[in-house]
Amino acid sequence: MEARDGGGMDRRERGTVTIRLRPEFFSRQAFMNSIQTEGRWLEVQKRVKVVPSGKGAVHRIELANWYGRLKANGRWKWFKLFTDRRASQRRWNEIIRDHELRQAGVITQQMDHAQRPLADHLAEYLADLKRRTSSEHYRITKNMLDRLVSGAEWKALCDIDEASTRKILAKLQGEKNYTVAHVNKFLMKLKSFVHWCVPDRLPFNPLRKLKKANERKALKRRAKRPLTPQEVLRLLQSVPSCRRLKYAVAIYAGLRRNEAAKLTWGDLKLNAVIPHILLRAETTKTGQAATLPLHSYLVNEFRGLMHGMPGATLFDSIPDKRTIKKDLLAAKIEPSDAYGRRAGYHGLRYTFASLLDETGCSHGTRRALMRHGSGDMTDGYTVARLSEMYEAVKHLPAPPDAGSATVIKTGTAGDVLSDPKQVDTWWTRNALAPSFTGADGQGDLGIDNEQNRPKIQGFRDDCGPLAATVLLNVGTPDILSKIRSRSSIG
């Protein structure tokens, strides 16, 4: 915008329109209002800097650069250009053209982000993630995203598509020999980042059709197994006293490694009517505070220690993998079973769930003690409730002709019994008492449960988990059914 004195008039140019204003009739606010009502941009012009010189006088200095003025989002904004007027006018025309295209929707915000490097978007996403998640989650996410970006050689957001993602995931599973579950973790981290970019940085999610691979029949290298009551007894008896309580809080309270490491003396309520632990929200995996009742064994062990300040942690460290393996071998416990499931510190939570299943508690109580967000995750830690299923199956009506013609093979010694009521197997002798107890303390099959009651309390050394069944065979070969506990890597 240029101001020239001529004939007592103040002339200001806007594009091809010349506006003449008389200073004595128009104030500055009136002048700006007249400009805003007529256009959205002004021509390049010189700006004058007013510098006070003392005693109320001012000194006006003309700036060297040319400037353009544009109305964006309802407000006028100055744009600094160059010292040369022709170069400034050329650049100002580009700015006006870009502004008009944006107003028309030809240039969008996603197009601007598409020109930025992918590293800038990742840095902003990780900064936002660090603000709202834990440091461990941030570290894992950053490591996985960096490996995906470097392996796929992505440089911009537009490079992330379904084909390149499938290629890098297959490379991780093939060359790196990762399991399906671990590769799915990479996919979920990437999809979370892409979802964060929609709709401000990406118009749509390019990975919306890419699904996780099936983990049910895939190899699980980190499948955990629970310890039997006999193995728990041997472990707690052979382990050094400095680590006994560290294992016990996982076996009898179901604490995770991170939760046990952050447990403080202030979290213990040993003198309450029901001794319990108060788990703070910042220490739990779900981010929710929880209250867990304490087993009498834990209460006695905690009371035998020298109490510290409420804010002091109970344990200086939690046993690592090598220490746990050494303690298991010292107790004559195999770290891995025949199915490849390993016993570790997180596997002690499986032991806690298995012991809860032995007590016959309800599924809701088990879920509350395990502190899982969904019941499906709790099912992965427990064995099948065969006693409940057998109660439902045994009351099914038999076929009308299922008399002497029906034979039952126990699958143990090859004996064939003609009468279903004469079945005598390990399951019928050692099943839970409430399932077979009669009116006079006798079982439904006429077996005294008092002599078997000590065996019911846990697993026997010569038997696997409590999983066996009675199979009716109607003209078919004998069937051997092996039922083992389910496992989860969660």
What is the rounded distance in angstroms from the CA atom of residue 448 to the CA atom of residue 444?
9
Segment 211-223 shows an average pLDDT of: 80
Closest C-alpha among 360, 345, 250 to residue 295: 250
What is the CATH topology of the domain spanning 230-378?
hpI Integrase; Chain A (1.10.443)
| Buried/exposed 346-357: b ≥16 CB within 10 Å, e otherwise | ebbbbbbbbbbb
- Residue 259, class by beta-carbon neighbours within 10 Å (0-12 exposed, 13-18 middle, 19+ buried)? buried
> Which token pair is 443?
């079982």
The helix or strand, by DSSP H or E, that contains position 58, with its residue range, turns out to be: strand 57-72
pLDDT tens for each residue of 397-407: 656 654 444 44
- pLDDT(5) > 60: no
Task: For residue 335, count other CB atoms closer than 10 A to its CB.
Answer: 17
So what's the pLDDT on residue 446? 42
Spell out the residues 6+ positions from residue 287 whose beta carbon is closer than 8 angstroms to its own.
281
pLDDT tens for each residue of 365-417: 888 888 877 656 666 555 545 555 556 666 666 566 544 444 444 445 555 44
Give percent above pLDDT 70 in the chain: 68
pLDDT mean across residues, the chain: 75
Beta bridge partners of 75: 72
Strands 57-72 and 41-54: antiparallel
- pLDDT(6) > 70: no
- Residue 92, class by beta-carbon neighbours within 10 Å (0-12 exposed, 13-18 middle, 19+ buried)? buried
Beta bridge partners of 456: none
pLDDT tens for each residue of 18-54: 444 444 444 555 544 544 444 577 889 999 888 888 7
What is the rounded distance in angstroms from the CA atom of residue 8 to the CA atom of residue 24?
10
What is the rounded distance in angstroms from the CA atom of residue 13 to the CA atom of residue 17?
6
So what's the pLDDT on residue 136? 87
pLDDT tens for each residue of 234-259: 999 999 999 999 999 999 999 999 99
Torsion, Cα of 157, 163, 164, 166 (10° steps) = 120
At 447, which amino acid appears?
I
What is the rounded distance in angstroms from the CA atom of residue 144 to the CA atom of residue 160?
15
Segment 316-322 shows an average pLDDT of: 93
- pLDDT(482) > 60: no
pLDDT tens for each residue of 438-473: 444 444 434 444 444 444 344 344 443 333 333 333
So what's the pLDDT on residue 399? 63
- pLDDT(330) > 90: yes
pLDDT tens for each residue of 104-155: 878 788 888 888 999 999 999 999 999 998 888 999 999 999 999 999 999 9
So what's the pLDDT on residue 104? 82
So what's the pLDDT on residue 74? 80
Higher pLDDT, 5 or 213: 213
90 three-state secondary structure = helix
Backbone angles phi, psi at 120, to 5 degrees: -65, -40
Higher pLDDT, 453 or 185: 185
Closest C-alpha among 226, 225, 227 to residue 237: 227
pTM score, whole prediction? 0.53
Task: For residue 300, count other CB atoms closer than 10 A to its CB.
Answer: 11
Higher pLDDT, 490 or 191: 191
Residue 91 is classified by DSSP as H
So what's the pLDDT on residue 43? 85
At 325, which amino acid appears?
K
Higher pLDDT, 325 or 102: 325
- pLDDT(206) > 60: yes
Segment 67-95 shows an average pLDDT of: 90
